Amino acid sequence: MENRILLKARELVVRNGARYVTMDVLANELGISKKTIYQFFEDKDALISAVIDFELDEQNLRLKKSQAIAENAVHEMFMLLEDIQTIFRNMNPLTITELAKYHVEAFMKIEHHKNVFMHGVIISNLKRGIEQGVYRKDIDPEILAAYRLETGFIAFNPNVFPLNKHDIGKVNVQIMEHFIYGVMSPKGIELMEKYKKEKVAGKDNSLDEEFINRITSKQ
């Protein structure tokens, strides 16, 4: 039951934003009483915090899998780009802003994840790419990792990208592609174009259904 509550809360947060998710709404969606929810989560803050923990754990597993199966650094970045498109396809653009404003503890977990885990992932990828010759040899991994991390949230800033003018998913992909193509060598660009063509042709199986099936099996 705890996993069922958590997964439904995650679905609602991603789709509708954190403010929308109340114990009443969640209970109605699940067809259970609020009392049942409170048996597992003492309040909304605890629920939202658990949702973020779940999301970050799954992202960690996803990224580690990408690192393990990637043919090279460009392939790893390609899979990350695919993940970003999947994540933001159905995500409410106000979710991050609402977490920062109304659920500070949960938002700080995202910040810590960004500054520690994601920083390590990007540094590792950039160094790997330089060694493989698919990234430019003159780039500084520390500088570019910091740059990438700080630009990661800019898409959620309505003052920069008003929601009535921009699609958050498209903004994120554009920013990510700008970063990727900026660090790649000619060899890396050739590989990226190859992976894109294979994806269009339906030949890329790197992002299979295993991950989704594993999550949904918990429901």
Q: What is the pLDDT along the chain (219 residues), one digit of tens a residue?
A: 999 999 999 999 988 888 889 999 999 999 999 999 999 999 999 999 999 999 999 888 988 888 899 999 999 999 988 887 777 767 777 888 889 899 999 999 999 999 999 999 999 999 999 999 999 999 999 999 999 988 888 888 888 988 889 888 888 889 989 999 999 999 999 999 999 999 888 865 554 444 334 433 443
**3-class DSSP state for residue 62?**
helix
Residue whose C-alpha is closest to residue 127's, from 118, 109, 116, 139: 139
3-state secondary structure of 135: strand
Residue 43 DSSP one-character state = S
So where are the chain's domains? 54-216
Per-residue CA distances from 195 to 113, 169, 171, 175 (Å)? 28, 20, 21, 19
Q: What is the pTM of this model?
A: 0.82
User: What are the CA-CA distances from residue 82 to residues 62, 79, 94, 143 (Å)?
Assistant: 12, 5, 21, 24
CATH of span 54-216: 1.10.357
- Identify the residue whose tokens are 């003052």: 159
Number of H helices, E strands in the chain: 12, 0
- Provide φ and ψ at 135, rounded to 5°: -115, 155
Residue type, 70: A
Count other C-beta atoms under 10 Å from residue 219's C-beta.
Answer: 10
